[in-house]
Each structure stands twice: as C-alpha cells, then as structure tokens.
Amino acid sequence: MDALASLLDGPRARGAFFMRSIMTPPWSLRVQDRAPLTLVAMVRGDAWVAPGTGAPVLLRPGDAAVILGPEPYTMAGDPATPPRAVIHPGQRCTTPEGEPLTGVMDLGVRTWGDSPDGPVMMLTGTYQMRGEISGRLLAALPGLLVLAGDAWDGPLIPLLAAEIVKDEPGQEAVLDRLLDLLLIAVLRAWFARAGIGAPAWYRAYGDPVVGRALRFMHNAPEHPWTVAELAARAGVSRAALARRFTGLVGEPPMAYLTGWRLDLAADLLRETDATVEAVARRVGYGSSFALSTAFKRVRGISPRDHRAAVAASE
C-alpha cells in the first residue's frame, strides 16, 4: 500500500453527498455546508469558484477542483453575481433570506438546478471526513486545488455524469467508489506536477530506501518494528536509514511510526466499538496501558476520553 492509498483508505466515501447541478446564467451558489472536503468536476460550461479568501478561479469543462472546508465558498457563473441560493449543513438549501428551496430546484435523480437544459453542468461530491488519517491528507492540500482538464487523463468525469442519474440497486455504492477513484486520480495528478510541493511523505515514497521503509510501516503497523529491522529490509545500515529517512520525511523513523499508529488508533476508536486493548494490538502496542501512555503523551488525552469526546461531538 502506498502513501496516498494509505491515507485514502480511511476517508472512503460512504453514502457521500453526490449531486449533479445544472444552471443557467446568471447563477450563484453560496456553499456553507461545512464539509471538510468537496470535489467539483465540470461537465459542460464554465463556473467560477471563489474561496473564502483569495481570488476566484475559473473552471472549464474537464477541470476538477478540491475545496477544503469548513469555510464557506461560492460557485457562480460570474463572480460578480450575488448568491441566489445558500447550501447549509445537511445539504439544506434556502434563499439568501432563509426561505426554503426544497423541491423548488429538484430536476430528477440526484439532479438540482434551475433548468434541465442549462448550459452549465457540474458534479459535486462531499466527504464528511473526520478521522486523524484524513487530517494528514487534508494538511497536505491547499484550501483550493484546481486541476485543468488538459493536465490529466480524466475519463472518470463522463462516466460519473452517466452514472449519477441512474437509480438502480447498489447505485449508491457504485457512486461512492467512482467518487473515490476521481479524488485519487485528481490528487495523484496534482502531487505529480512539478513545482507543486508535494508533502514529504509523498515524495519519500519515490526513494528506493525510505519508500520501502514507509511501505513496511503502512502495510503492517502492528509489527514490532525497529530501526534496525527496517534498515535491514531496506538494505542499508541503521544509521543510513535514520539519516535518509529524517532528511526526506522530516522526522525520524520511529517518530513517524508512532504518529501513524496513533492516527490509526484514533480512527479505530472513532469508527469501531473495539476495546482499547483490541485497538492497541491492531496498531502495534502490547497492551491497552502502553497505547494509553503513548496516546496521552502525544495527544494529551486518553484513548477512552478521546472516544467519549468524539461521541459527544457527533
């Protein structure tokens, strides 16, 4: 499993909100749904995306945008057009004055807009990602990422446009998987671009030594890894691995492994009802006491208190 796959293994779309929007100028949507991550793909026509801070960016057919929340943003045919509708948490839609628009702009299966024949069509998917592994991915991205259609091979957009209007058994699962594929394809193309400044963990995967060590950690976090064993498997000395790993990743191997294990533990505590003892074994700690000690030292809170805090916030 590589770095990107490891990070995306947690935030897989599960019943993600996914909608096709068809609009006619002048149009403008204020989105304040507080979603941690939104993916927009243009099918036809142009649209401007205006983040909370920064200049608006034009999207053309075939372009894709990744927008980080929870700050609001605006999608419009012209950035000078005032918002005509506001999208709230739970995908509740109102006028700017607060009047509900539920049903008013319904155009059919997963389709919303002001005209079924409008010149602008875009696909929007939102991830409700709240896990710690997701946080590693989100921290690596800018607030607004736009990938031009001619900068990547994007056959998934037409496929998604065709699938989104189908109402067949298992369709939600199909759309979730396609949305995941589109996100991975966009991020892979983005990180591969020269000068983008991909995160250290992503760049390090291309190194023949450090990349192997990272794969071992990601594939088997429960294994009792040592620097010596990682170095032997990577075919270098312990000192050479430690020096090379720290230089590329920005922290020593064992510090990275500890962070990875605790991120995994935090997700398991959030997403499963496994005991702290079971979680500890799955992420490489010999007992619940050992995990609790490390968890509290790094995060300032015990695993049980973390689970309780998560449950209280959701």
User: For residue 130, what pLDDT is reported?
Assistant: 61
User: For residue 169, what pLDDT is reported?
Assistant: 81
User: Can you name the residues that pair with 308 across neighbouring β-strands?
Assistant: none
User: For residue 133, what pLDDT is reported?
Assistant: 56
User: For residue 262, what pLDDT is reported?
Assistant: 94
Contact criterion met (CB below 8 Å) for 131 and 185: no
Residue among 13, 211, 272 nearest 264 (CA) = 272
User: For residue 228, what pLDDT is reported?
Assistant: 97
Spell 230-269 as b/e; 16+ CB within 10 A means b.
bbeebebeeeebbebbeebbeeebeebbbebbbbbbbbbb
Take residue 263 and report the two structure tokens written for it: 């991120």
User: For residue 160, what pLDDT is reported?
Assistant: 85
Three-state DSSP at 86 gives strand
- Kindly list the averaged pLDDT for each block of 10 residues, start to end, along the chain of length 314: 58 68 94 91 96 91 92 95 91 89 78 89 83 69 90 82 84 83 86 72 87 92 96 97 95 94 90 92 95 95 91 72
Helix (H) or strand (E) holding 305: helix 303-313
User: For residue 131, what pLDDT is reported?
Assistant: 64
